[in-house]
Amino acid sequence: MKALIQRVSEASVTFGEPPVTRRISQGFVVLLGIGKNDAPDAAKWMAEKTANLRIFSNEEGKFDKSLLDIGGECLVVSQFTLYGDAKKGRRPDFTLAAAPQDALAIYKLFIAELKKTGIRNVQEGEFQAHMRVSLTNDGPVTIMIET
């Protein structure tokens, strides 16, 4: 499992017809990729890691506060392309990504586990849909976490 976490001052995702938009204020956008060898138990670990990742500044400007500490929000977007391998050729190979039915179960489990941590607002994109993600990266701060 891979999570590309971006600290944001605001973000939204729009998808569907008619368009549906989901928004958050200060917090994280989590682009979540599920690999074909990922097990469901990784979702709980990743959710805990995300909620407690200290990448918000304290009074001295040091990374010392988590999403929970600041009362932040979280927008989760499925992103199988995190498993794209572009070492050979010009088109990425996605064979390391989980099959959609397997990925969906772990994606939903991650969101459920994230909500259990106490994050006050967890929003999500639409799995396997074309989405338009808009965000204001704060810092910028972007962290990759892998299980």
What digits encode the pLDDT tens for the residues 27-74? 999 999 999 999 999 999 999 999 999 999 999 999 999 999 999 999
Q: Domain segments of the chain: what residues? A: 2-141
Q: How far apart are CA 45 and CA 25, in angstroms?
A: 24
Cβ-Cβ contacts under 8 Å for 84 (sequence gap 6 or more): 92, 93, 94, 97
Asked if 1 and 32 count as a contact pair (C-beta separation under 8 A), the reply is: yes
pTM: 0.96
Domain 2-141: give its CATH architecture.
3-Layer(bba) Sandwich (3.50)
Q: What distances in angstroms separate CA 85 from CA 31, 81, 88, one per listed residue?
A: 17, 9, 8
81 is catalytic: yes
Q: How far apart are CA 114 and CA 121, in angstroms?
A: 10
Q: What percent of the chain has pLDDT over 70?
A: 100
Q: Which of 14, 21, 50, 81 is catalytic?
A: 81
